[in-house]
Amino acid sequence: MLRTVKLCLMGFGNVGQAFIHLAERKKDQLEKDYGVNFIVTAIATGRHGRAIDPQGIDTAKAIALVQKKQSLDSLSKERAPRDIREFIIKSQADFLLENSPVSYKDGEPALTHIRTALENNMHAVSANKGPVAHGYKELRDLAKSKGRHFLFESTVMDGAPVFSVVRESMLSAEILGFEGILNSCTNLIIGLMEEGYTFDEAVEYAQSIGITETDPSGDIDGWDAAIKVALLATVLMGEPIKPQDVAREGIRDLSATEAQQALKDGGRWKLVCRAEAEDGIFTARVAPEIVPPTSALYSVNGTSSIVIFHTDVLPGLGILESNPGPDTTAFGLLADILSILNKEK
């Protein structure tokens, strides 16, 4: 029997729209292999209004309106509450998909969005790093108390199965530390400087292809990398740290001359993320480093990312993601939803 699964979308930018396209493309497979049909009962955006329809919003029209920079209000079949908590409750959804802009400082308002969903017996799936970094234990425990689930595969390395590999395939393994390249924007910028771009030209190019915000400081000053280090340390190592606890240095002061000289000398600059627990002391750091050709990080180019885990049973286990985009982030959201649905069987 086909089950209708209702979704409430917080945020409807590139990732939210990519999720709709992916779900539509896989509609037949989802019905055949998982017995589910998705409908979107609510969409809330920061700049393009809100819509609620218990019978399902026309998502093709929603995408068209947003791309034309028009409001979604016309798609609402009933009054969409201005209070966001009331809006989430009124969506009557089975899942909240939290894809609003990240707050490195405190995780809000996404933290409140997810808390509200879980309190009202919805599952929560997030591509937003903020709530995990600032409220993981609270949200995990709340989900458990309500018999719901909170998953967030898309928060680190887009759709690559970082958390699920550890959660489901590394049972009893103790993660002692990790290293990697977790910010694809800075990796691209450094590579462009190696090719002769100035720092400003490289940043401008990254903005032009949509991999950084209008204000790129979250990437180039290391905040995006730091929050991902905090997530991995908190969730996988049991070290509950905030992004502000990560020693952080970005690439703002790295010049094209330095990038090119390192390459001539046989190395490459990379914005390297590290965390380690040794002799009871935990350290976490994000900083530019010159890595040698023998490093697995050396050949990770463009917008690709990598993380290498060091464990008590596996000396080094790496996960590489090549040139991701909104589609891969959307896949992470879909995989989390299906994982939760499988647990309910």
Residues annotated catalytic, as ranges: 228
Instruction: Return contacts of 24-32, CB within 8 angstroms, 24+ apart.
Output: 24/59, 26/334, 31/2
Positive or negative torsion for Cα 146, 76, 9, 23: positive
Q: Is there a contact between 288 and 273 (Cβ–Cβ < 8 Å)?
A: no
